[in-house]
Amino acid sequence: MKSINVFVVIFLMSLGMVKAQDNPLLGEFGTPHEAAPFDKIENAHFLPAFKEAIKQGEAEVEAIKNNTATPTFENTVVALDEAGRLLGRTAGIFFNLLSSETDEELQNIAQEVSPILTKYQNDISLDPVLFERIKAVYATKDQLDLSVEQNTLLENSYVGFVRQGANLSEADKDKFREISTELSKLSLTFGENVLKETNNYELLITDKSKLAGLPEGALEAAAGRAKAKDKEGWLFDISMPSYIPFMKYIDNRDLRKELYLAYGSKSFKGDELDNQNNVKRIAELRLEIAKLLGYSNYADYVLERRMAMNPDGVYGLLNDLYEASYKVALEEKAEIQKYAEKSGFDGEIMPWDWSYYSEKLKVEKFDLNDEMLKPYFELSNVVDGVFGLATELYGITFKENKDIPVYNEEVTAYEVFDADGSFLSVFYTDFHPRKGKQGGAWMNDFKGQWKENGVDSRPHVTIVMNFTRPTESKPALLTFDEVETFLHEFGHALHGMLANSTYSSLSGTSVYRDFVELPSQIMENWAVEKDFLDRFAKHYKTGETIPAELVQKIVASQNYLAGYLSVRQLSFGYLDMAWHTLEQPFTGSVKDFEEQAWKKVQIFPVIDESCMSTQFGHLFAGGYAAGYYGYKWAEVLDADAFSLFKEKGLFSKEVAAAFRENILEKGGTEHPMVLYKRFRGQEPTVDALLKRSGLN
């Protein structure tokens, strides 16, 4: 994206020299499907666009408040759901770019606009006149003959106002405003610090003998990184495509430890990028919000609107899985320790040894490693396979459209069509790490879905990953884990692309946080199915279909380290709940708190230099606070749901149609358990998950 000085543009606008209609964010886009005109958007357009969009949104809200007619579902609840569309469009574009194509200028804009957006939201949710209108409609809900979706919108609107402070005193409303504004800025700072830490670290190695054990592909990628920065040798960083193979294969233990500590100590060094105080302050502010609203802790507040319902529900799940997993994890660790000692290792296995020795044992036990599989997972073939699965299940097709602007040349834009040829969605894919991209993988939308005046306004969805790049001699060859990640994020994308709701706030992924991972995690199940892999897993050189014996090895190895992987995920859930069940502000050591929180599931010695909390973006810069358990909760759902596909047929159109109709299309229009039971015919049980994981 081009960049010019934001403040110059604002000054010129104040003089009337730059008109609002010259800002591409404020008019009709004139692109296919009104997709974001990334080729015309400059950083300097965002702040003026936000200010104009807020102005329009405020006018729309004022019109609702000043309506002299009796409050009705249409003139109040629906009108409020439709208000702020320009702001939603602007924010959708901006915050997606902030995650996937950021720079210092965008980060500065985010810091400036975040409190403005928080004020706008608070001005709505804390407005007594608006709340009185919502209450008036809510009081007559039993006489309104509303549809299920309409009733959900009304319920969400009323409860949403209450949960955002509408019943507070004026003094407490002011306090709520202060807290939420500070929270929004701190969350941005937290994420920026982690990204800067990630980008700042480099390990340049010029002596190739130190890289013994590293596969050819990883060596070539490291050489490519060095060359891109005009350096000689092999360059490593702590992005996943660099970090994971390094930890799995490098024989040099000192180097593994160095990289492990670089990764584990992000924002935990006591410098300007340290997040320890941010963690404590964010937790404290969330607790203050909870107490203002009458809750003992933040988890009580959050979980009231989740399937788990309360902390007891979460701990019940975590503890049940702990009982099934922990002893298995200890047995797995003992096995790895014994194997390492047989290999000449002397001492206790440490975290920087785990991937290395567990990978070697995996090869010995199953004759399988990433390098054996990667030639069959060339990125373009995987794309065809994943898209083809959606076509097989749901009848949808994908067509690249080069006329849809993209924000980076590596991004591809598609039109998505339903089986009857009707347009469903714009879909963007963004696969590889860059300096301006956050780590990890995610799905989001630039524009949601809704229906208005008989028109179904379709969504614009993106998935962003950090997959292995192509090298000078090889195309992008994915690891099996990356294939699973692709399927996972694509499942979220299906949830967005197939949305079929009337109201935008109930559409697509606007569901309970512990339900949102079901559509994503169920997709991962196909990754180990030979009938699926045969469709696309072709050797990038020979075209040979992945051999049956290799697929059998994948299946056989699926439960390798199942206990360890389970307790690792549980540790994050316990840590999350510890921070968010606090009933008094925490002022002690973040590191000590963390170690105590997940002590029961830790199988390695404490590493003083590493800290998870200071880099845990899901909790402190994302939307998973008091909700990280949702990944395990959704595993129960996805295993149970996929068992129906296994029973009726891997590509059963009957089961797929039921999943689409009751889960993917419905969004948050009904309670998720109602939707799930309508699809499955029964409530889920943990049986399928324990069986799949080999933990029963």
pLDDT digits (tens, 9 = 90+) for 663-686: 999 999 999 999 999 999 998 888
Q: φ, ψ for residue 447 (rounded to 5)?
A: -155, 135
Report which DSSP code applies to 606: -
3-state secondary structure of 419: coil
Report which DSSP code applies to 2: B
Report which DSSP code applies to 470: P
Q: What is the longest distance spanned by two Cα atoms in the chain?
A: 83
Q: How far apart are CA 1 and CA 105, in angstroms?
A: 11
pLDDT value at 7 more than 80: no
The one catalytic residue in 52, 197, 332, 489 is 489
Q: How far apart are CA 681 and CA 643, in angstroms?
A: 13
Q: How many CB atoms lie within 10 A of CB 326?
A: 18
Positive or negative torsion for Cα 344, 346, 348, 352: negative
Give catalytic status of residue 489 as yes or no.
yes
Q: Which of 199, 269, 205, 191 is nearest to 237 (CA)?
A: 199
Q: How confident is the model at residue 689 (pLDDT cuts 50, 70, 90)?
A: confident
Q: How confident is the model at residue 209 (pLDDT cuts 50, 70, 90)?
A: very high
Fold annotation for 6-125+127-167: Neurolysin; domain 3 (1.10.1370)
Q: How far apart are CA 5 and CA 109, in angstroms?
A: 11
Q: How far apart are CA 211 and CA 220, in angstroms?
A: 12
Average pLDDT score over residue span 273-287? 98
b/e map of 572-599 (b: 16 or more CB within 10 Å)? bbbbbbbbbbbeeebeeebbebbbebbe
Q: What confidence score (pLDDT) does residue 19 get?
A: 55
- pLDDT tens, residue by residue, 488-536: 999 999 999 999 999 999 999 999 989 999 999 999 999 999 999 999 9
HSE (side-chain half, CA atoms, 13 Å) at 315: 12
Q: What confidence score (pLDDT) does residue 693 get?
A: 83
- pLDDT tens, residue by residue, 175-196: 999 999 999 999 999 999 999 9
pLDDT value at 15 more than 50: no
Q: How far apart are CA 118 and CA 60, in angstroms?
A: 17
Q: How far apart are CA 667 and CA 80, in angstroms?
A: 19
Q: Which of 637, 598, 344, 350 is nearest to 514 (CA)?
A: 637
Q: How far apart are CA 135 and CA 153, in angstroms?
A: 13
- pLDDT tens, residue by residue, 413-465: 999 999 999 999 999 999 999 999 998 999 999 999 999 999 999 999 999 99
453: left (phi over 0), alpha (psi -120 to 50) or beta: left
Q: What confidence score (pLDDT) does residue 586 get?
A: 97
3-state secondary structure of 471: coil
Average pLDDT score over residue span 66-72? 97
Amino acid at 289: I
**Residues in CB range of 139: below 8 A, 6 or more apart:** none
Q: What confidence score (pLDDT) does residue 695 get?
A: 79
pLDDT value at 4 more than 70: no
* Average pLDDT of the chain, as a whole number: 95
- pLDDT tens, residue by residue, 323-361: 999 999 999 999 999 999 999 999 999 999 999 999 999
Q: How far apart are CA 419 and CA 501, in angstroms?
A: 19
Q: How far apart are CA 23 and CA 292, in angstroms?
A: 41
Average pLDDT score over residue span 147-157? 97
pLDDT value at 57 more than 80: yes
Which regions of the chain carry the CATH code 1.10.1370.40?
6-125+127-167
Report which DSSP code applies to 22: G
Question: Is 458 in contact with 500 (CB distance < 8 Å)?
Answer: no
Helix locations, 293-435, DSSP H: 298-303, 311-342, 351-366, 370-373, 379-394
pLDDT value at 20 more than 70: no
Q: How confident is the model at residue 696 (pLDDT cuts 50, 70, 90)?
A: confident
Residues making up the chain, counted from first to last: 696
Question: Is 393 in contact with 63 (CB distance < 8 Å)?
Answer: no
Query: Rounded to two decimals, what is the model's pTM?
Result: 0.92
Q: What confidence score (pLDDT) does residue 691 get?
A: 84
pLDDT value at 39 more than 60: yes
Q: What confidence score (pLDDT) does residue 3 get?
A: 38
